[in-house]
Structure 1
Amino acid sequence: MSNILGSKLADWKVSFSLILSFSLSLLFSWTSHSLWLAEITLFLWAMATFAMVPVLQINVVRHGKDAPNLV
């Protein structure tokens, strides 16, 4: 499910989906003071980072056109 969401976000806008994923780390700095909020944030963060694998792969392939054997 999260890979489907990550792929749809990547098809829509790669940079936005990466910023959305990495912004959860800032959210964790605010929610780390409460156990339940920290657990919820870490769960969402894990799902977001798992969903960002296709986004990062699309980004690498898109920028590596000149060196396809390296990519």
Structure 2
Amino acid sequence: MVARVRDTGWFKSSRSGAVNENCVEVRLTDTAVCVRDTKHRAAGALNVTPATWTALVTSLKTA
């Protein structure tokens, strides 16, 4: 699901360099984890449940 999310509370990995714009930003809410492309912020965000986000991050760490 793509949704518009207020532009506050977004963060990106500390491993992302200041010059490197090939990043995603994440915002945590009470009911969702929102993910958006730093190059296309106006396009909206992908919202997933916290459980789905945890599964994704765990999978990436073990890949």
Q: TM-score scaled by structure 1?
A: 0.28
Higher helix share: 1
> Whose Rg is larger?
1
Of structures 1 and 2, the one scoring higher in RCO (CA 8 A, sep 6+) is: 1
